[in-house]
Amino acid sequence: MENVFDLVNDFYSQDGEWNSVLRQSYVENFLRTKLWQGASEDELFDAWENITIFCIYLGNSGNFLGDMTKDDFIDCLSWCARNVSGFELTASRAKAFLHTIGDLYTHLQRKRVITSDKAPKEAEKVLLADKQLRILDQDGSLLPGYEQYGICLTPDLSAKIFLNIGERIDALMQYMYVFFSDKKYQQDLERANFIFSYIKILLGGDAQSEQFIKEEISKNFWNYFFFEYRMIENDKTPIQYFYDVFSETDFKQRDKVNKDILYELLQTEFVFFTVKSKTEEGLYSCVNVFTKEDYLLLLPLDETLDIKNMVFAAHIFYNQSMIMDCMQGMYLPGRSLTHFMQNMQQAKSLAAVRCGGELSWSDFIKRFPVFSRHLAMLKDVFISSQDIVDLYKNYQPAPLLDDAVAQKIAAFMRKYSFSFYDITLAQQMWSDYLVSSQKDAAGILMPENWAAGVIYAFVQTIGAYLYKPQQIALMCGGVSPQELLRIYEDLNKKLCLTVHDPRYLNEESLFFLLLIK
């Protein structure tokens, strides 16, 4: 376990600019003095945490150490409660913070670094009269009657600050891992594993690709599962599902840091980027290969790695400044990168058919993340989609219905573990058919027959599911296979269905498109 002086050194090593706020030597000298006076290890850690928070406030407010007034310290506690995750402003928390900084000020005055140590003590007298928190509530907002303190409040940051964010994320990810290891999520885990391993089929399944898949799953599967995979029952990512389940229960009883971190992680985006240069501060200047957005990232890159012609894939979060632990690097020189981007554009054009021809890169990669990952690793595929896109360029999806047939489609498909997204696509096909055939949903008899015909038409267009008419008929309560096929033929004729039809495209269908040479 690191001691407090290791933490101090890490803090200042990451950004030397902190020395202009409060010198490292002053902090270390102060903590050593506390140690000689008999402070325990826990007390030293608590003192350092309060000093860290104080430095963060000074760095963001523009105030100087020796110029802080009583009102500035009230602003400091207000700002920290609003902007530092886990800093819950109670009377005891405010007292501990002001005592630490008060002791630091006394120490610095003795060393003649500052001229007065009165400000923290004066702030405590005002804020904690009768040992009760005054002026501010627990969220850092001004209480009624104290509006005069709001004149010079330091503006909030765009994202909350987390102390020890790496450790907190590791603990949270471990908790999520245990949560989703429950047997009721086994089907989702197996499906996610199958989809994530699909590159094995695309690469040919030789010994080399087997080893590659094993390493890939070991390094990146859980990040894929938490942030990209869509759950069968609700089409949510597991992290969104986890947040929804626990935000109204567990997090009311736990410290709010986990909820804050989860909220930040919900903004995580899977991106492809190249590295342009490294800054003097040790950050990497990067650019998104599709959107051309610029990022400044702290990357775990080996200094000996030749990053020229490398494209990296990673989950970026925290105001597009941090990445998750695992990062995937791919060598894509010149033509290979151009080929990859052309194929991605072709695939995006197919997916955009359902959206009236408009689909952002971010939304495409969110819906087809594994396809995007795997496409970057393939060297000899070529996707040509323009003819198909032109065929459906005027497509406008009909409003989704909730009639008897749509309900039967959902009931039958859900029973056989089709995903929520697949069910929506099949229901879309039904709605489109009613518009194109000018039929009235209220006049449809034997909805189970129509549901069976739609489901069979859907699996035929996807081109990835090996269901025979008899199997679909049995799935739908034993309807007539002949009636199913009659309805399928009518659907096929009215909608001009094709294999890998972009109007009803899912990720599995895109995968099979890659197998067409």
Give me the mean pLDDT over the 192-211 stretch. Answer: 68
- Mean pLDDT value across residues 67-84: 93
The predicted model scores a pTM of 0.82
Flag whether pLDDT at 217 surpasses 80. Answer: no
Angstrom distance (rounded) from CA 503 to CA 356? 10
Q: Is residue 405 a contact partner of residue 430, using CB atoms and an 8 Å limit? A: yes
- pLDDT given at position 374: 83
Q: Tens digit of pLDDT for each residue in 275-311?
A: 999 888 778 899 999 999 999 988 888 888 888 889 9
Average pLDDT over residues 2-28: 89
Q: Distance between CA 517 and CA 508 in Å, rounded?
A: 17
**Is residue 417 pLDDT above 50, yes or no?**
yes
Report how far residue 359's alpha carbon sits from residue 363's, in angstroms, rounded to the nearest whole number: 7
What was the pLDDT predicted at 198? 73
For residue 204, what pLDDT is reported?
Answer: 59
Mean pLDDT for 5-34 is 91
For a pLDDT cut of 90, what percent of the chain falls above it?
A: 54
Structural contact between residues 345 and 389, judged by C-beta atoms closer than 8 angstroms: no
Model confidence at 199: pLDDT above 70: no
Q: Tokens for 184? A: 């009721």
Residue 392 Cα to chain centre, angstroms:
33
Query: What is the mean predicted confidence (pLDDT) over 504-510?
Result: 89
Query: Mean pLDDT in the chain?
Result: 87
- CA gap 508, 513 in Å, rounded: 9
**Which of the two residues, 17 and 272, has the higher pLDDT score?**
272
| pLDDT band with cut points at 50, 70 and 90 for residue 469 | very high
Q: At what angle do helices 118-127 and 70-83 cross, to 10 degrees?
A: 70
Mean pLDDT, range 343-369, rounded to an integer: 92
**Residue 344's closest CA among 328, 327, 360?**
360
pLDDT digits (tens, 9 = 90+) for 98-141: 999 999 999 999 999 999 999 999 999 999 987 889 988 888 88
Contacts of 364 (CB under 8 A, 6+ apart): 344, 347, 348, 351, 352, 372
Six-digit token pair at 361?
């890169």
Spatial contact of 50 and 96, defined as CB atoms under 8 Å apart: yes
The pLDDT assigned to 491 comes to: 96
Is the pLDDT reported for residue 325 higher than 70?
A: no
The helix or strand, by DSSP H or E, that contains position 275, with its residue range, turns out to be: strand 269-278
**104-108, 167-171, 184-188, 248-252: which has the minimum mean pLDDT?**
248-252
How high is the pLDDT of residue 517?
46
| Structure confidence at residue 246 (pLDDT) | 80
The rounded distance, in Å, linking the Cα atoms of 325 and 172 is: 13
Residue 131's pLDDT is 80
